[in-house]
Amino acid sequence: MKNSSNSCSSCTKLPLWVLVPFLAILAIIFVANSINASAETQVTITVYALSLNCVDNETCYSPSVLTTLAGNNVTWLNDSGVIHTVTSGNPQEGPDGTFDSGIIMSGDTFSHTFTEASNYQYFCTIHPWMTGTVIVG
């Protein structure tokens, strides 16, 4: 026998007009987050940074060229076992004053928020063969 009455009278059903906008907002948040997540935001300084070979292998800072979006916070993790710096500028002309981590102890991090689109060169003042670039779009 078929019961035509509501068999789940204790269930709370949300009407469709509530669910659809709610799901649409969730979808927008999800898409916005995945766009942000697709921009890289971390650079790792590994043990390879101590070798001059890191210049040719592009492993002084990894990745040596990082592309991100304006407004993003980029974090450098010193996972190398020795101290380093992340200093804007280049070894030929020296620091340009845009950002400077100072000494980053092994295991520590340094973060900088890039608000303007540009190409930012940086280097390590202790090991000046270590260079990297952040491209902010």
Report the interface residues with Cu ion, using CB under 5 A: 84, 124, 126-127, 130
d(CA 50, CA 16): 60
Query: Which one-letter amino acid corresponds to residue 99?
Result: F
71 or 94: whose CB is closer to Cu ion? 94
Q: Write down the least CB distance from residue 46 to Cu ion, Å.
A: 11
Cβ 94 to Cu ion, closest distance in Å? 15
User: Which CB, 86 or 136, lies closer to Cu ion?
Assistant: 86
Smallest distance, Cu ion to C-beta of residue 59, A: 13
CB-based burial of residue 64 (10 Å sphere; 0-12 exposed, 13-18 middle, 19+ buried)? middle
Instruction: Determine how many CB atoms are found less than 10 A away from the CB of residue 95.
Output: 16
